[in-house]
Amino acid sequence: MSMFRRIKAPSSLGLQKLAHDLVHRRYRFRQFVGIGFLFVLTFLGRPAELGASGRTLVLAGAGFSALGMLVRLWASGHVKKDKALATTGPYGYVRHPLYVGNHLITLGFCLASGLWWSFLAWGVIALVFYPGTIAHEDEVLHRLFGKIWEGWRARTRALIPRLTPYSPGEHGDWSLAQSWHNGEPVIIAILVGCLGYLSIGLR
């Protein structure tokens, strides 16, 4: 019996930790859930069955998704992963441009899939994962950069862009190498492939 308990205990603890993280640290699962949702829309979507409407939806969806990919590519070339506070480029307009890009991409996939329920699912995912994720990242950046972050936060919203840059005249240095290091080009290639799959059969 003692051996059985020794074998079962790690599994039990693992499930408890998973349940705890799902309740208190949902931000850890945001990427897996977000990408998984896009794959679900890719393989369940049948825009070709909607005829001309499906073609219109795919074109509109591709436009929003492309805009989101460009925003993420722009942001990923500026972010320094906790080494320096990025306040230039897209970070001069909004604190979390990568998430703005995520929402644009997801909106595009919801449209392109032609699945009405995808918008409801997207809303649930956004409400469950993003507020906690933004709060966690703000807390980390505040701890790392203190007063600099406080000044930036006071003048820059989380997801709604400013009309003018936070630091006029400062454009920062965008780096394709930095973007590649963050894995953005690979993600974009996968997303483009998913949109291509959704467009199969369109006329």
- Please report, for residues 30, 42, 151, the alpha-carbon distance to residue 134 in angstroms, rounded to integers and kept in the order given: 11, 27, 17
List pLDDT tens digits, range 50-76: 999 999 999 999 999 999 999 999 999
List pLDDT tens digits, range 35-54: 999 999 999 999 999 999 99
Residue 123 lies in a domain: yes
List pLDDT tens digits, range 107-150: 999 999 999 999 999 999 999 999 999 999 999 999 999 999 99
Residue 145 lies in a domain: yes
Q: Find out whether 129 and 30 touch, Cβ atoms under 8 Å.
A: yes
Q: Is 44 helix (H, G, I), strand (E, B) or coil?
A: helix
How far is 76 from 92, CA to CA, in rounded Å? 14
Q: What is the pLDDT of residue 14?
A: 60
* Model pTM score: 0.87
Residue 150 lies in a domain: yes
How far is 126 from 33, CA to CA, in rounded Å? 10
**Residues spanned by the domain of 90:** 27-198
Residue 5 lies in a domain: no
Residue 96 lies in a domain: yes
Residue type, 20: H
pLDDT bracket for residue 171 (50, 70, 90): confident
| Contacts of 192 by beta carbon, 8 Å cutoff, 6+ apart | 69
Kindly give the residue spans of alpha helices, DSSP state H, lying in 77-160.
97-113, 117-155
Residue 13 lies in a domain: no
What is 77-93 written as a DSSP string? TT--TTSS---SGGGGT
Report the domain count for the chain: 1
Q: Find out whether 71 and 101 touch, Cβ atoms under 8 Å.
A: yes
Query: For residue 116, what is the DSSP state?
Result: T
Residue 14 lies in a domain: no
Residue type, 78: H
Residue 67 lies in a domain: yes
pLDDT bracket for residue 16 (50, 70, 90): low
